[in-house]
Amino acid sequence: MTRDAISLMIEDELRKVIDRDRRFKHREKLSGLVPPGFDTPFGDFPSKGKKSPNKDLFIVVQPRAVHSQSRGCPPPSTGAFKRRPIMPTDFRKYYIRGDLPVQIQHGTSNKLSWRVDIETIEYGHFLPLFIDGIREKEDPYRFIAVQGTYDLLEVATTDRILPVIPQVILPIKRALDTRDKEIIGTISKVIQMLILFQGGSYEIGEALVPYYRQILPVLNLFKSSNRSLLDRFDYSQRKRSCLGDLIEETLQLLERYGGPDAFVNIKYMIPTYEAILN
C-alpha cells in the first residue's frame, strides 16, 4: 500500500512545527485559495448573523523594487506561477452525503476501508471522482481521495482503465490548473501510476498522447522547479516531493510508453525536453 496520502498529512504537521504556524490552512481559506468548510460539525450558522471576512486584510499587493536609475513603476507580474483558487469539488459533496463506499479505519496509521468489493466497483464513475478530490487541501477529503485513487489503480486492469481515460483527463487538468505545487506533485504520481500499473502499459501510454495539450502546459511551467542548495541536503528527493524531478520522471514515462508519436508531441509542448530513447 502506498503511503503518499499519509505523507501529505505528516508534511502538514511538520510545517506547523518548523514554521511555528498552525493557522496557515485557516488563512488560505480566508484568502479564497481553499474552499471553506462548514462552520460547525452540524452545518453552517445562519447567514443573517454571520460576518463576512474582509479579504482586503489578507491580500496585500506590494510593488516590486524599482531600479534607482529607472523611471516609473516596473511592469506588472503575469502571475503564471501563482496559485489559483480551488473551487469546491464534487468529491467533497459526495463524501458529505455519504455516497462514497469508503470509511477511514483509525489506528496507529490511518487506513482506507472499502465497504464494497473494490474489484467490482464502477471505475467510470468513481475513478474520475476520486482523482477530482485530489484538489482538496483539507483532510479527511484529501486523504480519502489520494488513498482511494491509489487503491483503485492497484487492483485495476487494462480493460477497466482504458475506457475511462477520456473521463479522467478533465479532473487531472483541473488539478494541474490550480498551480499548487503539492497538488501538481500528487497528480504527477497518479499519472505515473496510470502508466506503470501491471509493469507498464503501452496501451495506456498511447491513449494519453491525444491529451498532451491538456496535461503538458502546466508541467512545462514547473519543469525546472528545483531548489539550488549547493552543498546542502535536499530531503524532498527522499520523500519524492521534489517537483522538478517528478515532472521529469513523468515526461520520461510518457515518452517511453507513448509510442512513436510521443516524443514529437512532448517536444512540441515542452521545447526544453530531451529525449531518452533513440
Q: Which amino acid is at 8?
A: L
**Looking at the predicted structure, is the pLDDT value of residue 129 above 70?**
yes
Contact, 136 vs 146, CB < 8 A? no
Work out the angle at residue 264's Cα, subtended by the Cα atoms of residues 260 and 270, and round it to the nearest 5 degrees. 140
**Looking at the predicted structure, is the pLDDT value of residue 59 above 50?**
no
Set of cell numbers at residue 40 = 460547525
Report d(CA 222, CA 184) in Å as an integer. 9
Set of cell numbers at residue 229 = 542548495
- The rounded mean pLDDT for the chain is 80
Cis bond before residue 41 (omega within 30° of 0):
no
**What b/e sequence results for 18-35 when a residue is b if at least 16 CB atoms lie within 10 Å of its CB, and e otherwise?**
eeeeeeebeebbbeebbb
Please state the rounded mean pLDDT for residues 17-21: 72
Residue 238, pLDDT score:
67
Q: Where are the beta strands (DSSP E) in the chain?
A: 102-105, 111-114
Residue 40, pLDDT score:
67
Residue 69, pLDDT score:
55
**Looking at the predicted structure, is the pLDDT value of residue 248 above 50?**
yes
Residue 66, pLDDT score:
52
Highest mean pLDDT among 45-59, 60-74, 164-178, 219-233: 164-178
Residue 60, pLDDT score:
44
Q: What is the pTM of this model?
A: 0.80
